[in-house]
Structure formats: structure tokens, C-alpha cells
Amino acid sequence: MEKVLSYIKDNEKRYLDELIEWLKIESISCDSTKNDETRKAGKWIADRIEKAGFENTRLIETGGHPVVYADWLHAEGKPTIMVYGHYDVQPTDPIEKWTTEPFNPTIKDGKIYGRGTSDDKGQLYTHICALEAMLKQDGKLPVNIKFFIEGEEEAGSEHSTPFVEQNKELLACDAVAVSDTAWHSKDIPTVIYALRGLCYMEFHVKGPKRDLHSGVYGGMLQNPLNAVGKLIASLQDENGVIQIPGFYDDVLPLKDEEKKEFAAIGNHDKEMMEDLGVNALWGEKGFTSLERNWGRPSMDVNGIWGGFSGEGAKTVITADGGFKVSSRLVANQNPDKIKKLFEDYINEQCPPGVTVETIYHHGGEPIMVDIDNPFLRAGQRAFEKAFGKKPTMVREGASIPITATFVKELKAAPIMVGFGLPDDNIHSNDEKLDLDNFYKGITCNALMYTEFAK
């Protein structure tokens, strides 16, 4: 291991130069005009993995963006670990809010700025660098490795998820190494053992067959936008409790030990309010902000439209309007069940004079790994050796939908040891990654695969 760690140190500049080259590829998976760039990013990382010494490396077509597969399976009697990540990135809009060019990576103040630095090219690349160092110095790996890298995580994994379901033998493994998460704060590193799921829906509220004059018709019929407001208001009460019957039926209550772990992190509500520029935090009554984010489901309106929103006044009753809403789900909840409960409730609450059309965009199941899982504990030990501080085991409020498919189809626990920070601005302007975390992340992964072998 001493030779491996020395090799990593000696090659830090090369690793960074290579990452910059990859980051320059505009792999925005949801933008069809960038399809060639997205494929180029997949081909780039496949070539890099093959150059690192892996076998059977190839792009595999899915009907959408291709997945990257590679393996090294010569550690007889040792576990098989699948390395998961994604080579696609989020769009850059609004571009005017960036202070650096999103696809021209910029280094300043010990950080690298650019789209994909933290989510997920930079974090994923730490695994490739670590495994390459082990192969180059030792000529072998302590465990068997498979790579599964997708190109549409930021677009819902529409084709990647069925690929896993249809290729269980190819992807069979004992655990999945994932670096696509962030610490709680720079001073409180964390390893994630649970992720929330997702149910994303859209509701179109339709009234008269054309827009109407609000003086001539006002007071005589249901205004679709008034109905939108009533429907949204009916979803939660003043205490933040979601009002859909049956919504909480499958929610696993937080254990006392978990509440103690969360509380040990400390209360950072004041700092969060200052950072976000709000005068209060809000959510389901009876739970702390961390408990709400990590252990309770949520519901948020993500968009509202309809009527006139231009400059000046227009006295109109619009013919239709609508809203989009997402729910983050916790362990034991099922997105298909929540979708049905949502749809039934909205139809029941729909005011007379309008109709509602429902569109279900996508969902993802929540996951929770046993906190005593040996691979999870191995990741925690490796992290402590690399960073000099034991990470706290926590849940995460966000989602990586395909991880639930790994649990369900491969029976493999996702081991989520990430190196991002909460202020990395993922999905926002000026996305960045701390370079110290990048380099130590490579070391951490080399140590982690050695720990996995035990």
C-alpha cells in the first residue's frame, strides 16, 4: 500500500489534467443537441478505464445514452465490487449566473470549478485513479471489480434502470461503490447509509375552452388558477403534515439511536438560515430539521403556470393552468403507491367546474443499508485513515434512484462514500470540488478496496 499511495501522490497533477479534459466535454444528457457530446464523454471514460488496465471495456447501447462496462475478475475467493457513477451532467442555465465558464474548468482557492466537478465526474474519477494505481504498482487488485457507469442519471436513468434489470448476471456483485454524495459540512464528514426516494407528478387543471374576460364572466364559473391554489393548499396543513390519506402508512419511525446520531451532529439551523437568507425554517411539526430531511417524507411544489404574468395588467380568466409537485420518500415507501394516493386525492379535492389531468413523470424507491453492513463499515474505516477523522453515519435527503434497483435486482448494498461538500453548488451555477478532497478521495478509495477484501 505504501507504493500505491506514493504512486497516487506522484501522479496528482496528471489526474487533475485528465479530469479537466473530461470536464470540458458538454455531456448534458437531457439536451438532445448535446447527444454527440454525451456519447463522447462516455467513450472518453471507457478509453481511460481500459488504459488503467481493465478488461472487457465497452460502451453498451441502451436505447438512450450508452452505459460503460469494464471488469477485472482475477481476485479468486474475494468479493466483487461494482463501481457506479455517471458521466452526464446537469444543464448550465441560467448561464449568466456563472462567474466561470461551466465547460472550461477553472482552478482557484484550492477548488476546481465547472459543471460535473462534484456531480459526478470528479468524484467518480477518484475510483479510476485509485484502482489504476493499485494495478500499476501491485499488478493486481485485492477484490474483483466491475464498472457500471451510466449516461443519463441526470435525466432519470430511463434506460439505465431497465439495463440493470435485464443484465443481472453481467452486473452481479457483492456491493456497489458510489461516490456521488456530499458531507454534512466541511468539518463534519459523513458516510451515507440511506437515501430518500422520489415521486414526481404534474397536474393540468382545465376549465373553459377559451380564455375569458374576468369582468364579463367573473363570479359565474370556477377559475382554473383559483382551483390550482386550492389544490396546492389542500396538500399540507399549517404544521407541515401532508394531508393525503395513507401517505404516512409505510413510513418507518426513526429509532432513538438514529435521533441521537443526528443530534450529535449539532444544530446548524441558524447558519443555514443565514446562508439561505430566510428568517425561519419550516416543516413537519415534532421533528428537527435534520430529522425531517433525513428520516421523514416531504412534499414540494416545483412549478406553477397559467394566466397572464407579463408586465402590466390583463383581466383574464385563463382556460387552464397547472402545477408540478415532487415528494421525497423514505425507507419502506413505494413511489407507485404514493402516485396512486396523490392522484386519488387530487381528483377528490378537485373543485367543481374544472377537471384535472395527471402526468406521472418518474419515481425512485428509497434505500437504507444496514448500518452494521461490513462493506459500509469498511468504507468508514478507510475514510478515517485517509482523512484523519471518523465520518458520521447519516441519512441523505436527496435521491439516487438507480441505487434502489441495485438493492432489488442485484441484492447488493450501495456503499456511499462521497467527497463532495454541501456548498459545491451541484445543479447550480459555479459548481466546484475541493481539490484536497479530490486527492484524499483517491487515497481513501485505494484503502477502501483493500478493506473490502477483508
Cβ atoms of 38 and 149 within 8 Å: the answer is no
Strands 80-86 vs 175-178: parallel, antiparallel or unpaired: parallel
Distance of CA 371 to the CA centre of its chain: 20
Q: Which amino acid is at 85?
A: G
Task: Cell numbers for 331, please give them.
Answer: 425507507
SS3 33: helix
Cβ atoms of 335 and 326 within 8 Å: the answer is no
For the question of residue 372 being annotated catalytic, the response is no
Residues pairing with 59 in the sheet: 68
Alpha helices in 234-333 (DSSP H): 256-264, 269-276, 289-295
Q: For the range 374-378, what are the long-range contacts, defined as Cβ-Cβ under 8 Å and sequence gap of 24 or more?
A: 375/79, 375/81, 375/174, 375/175, 375/413, 375/415, 375/452, 376/191, 376/193, 376/413, 376/415, 378/415, 378/448, 378/451, 378/452, 378/454
Catalytic residue chosen out of the listed positions 88, 174, 291, 396:
88
| Backbone torsions φ then ψ of 297, nearest 5 degrees | -75, 155
The DSSP symbol for 254 reads P
For the chain, the maximum distance between any two Cα atoms, rounded to a whole number of angstroms, is 82
Residues pairing with 305 in the sheet: 322
Q: How far apart (Å, rounded) are the C-alpha atoms in residues 391 and 190?
A: 5
For the question of residue 165 being annotated catalytic, the response is no
| Backbone torsions φ then ψ of 74, nearest 5 degrees | -115, 10
Of 165, 327, 312, nearest to 243 by C-alpha is: 327
Through-space distance between the first and last CA atoms of the chain, rounded to whole angstroms: 15
Catalytic residue chosen out of the listed positions 37, 71, 152, 153:
153
Q: Which residues are catalytic?
A: 88, 153
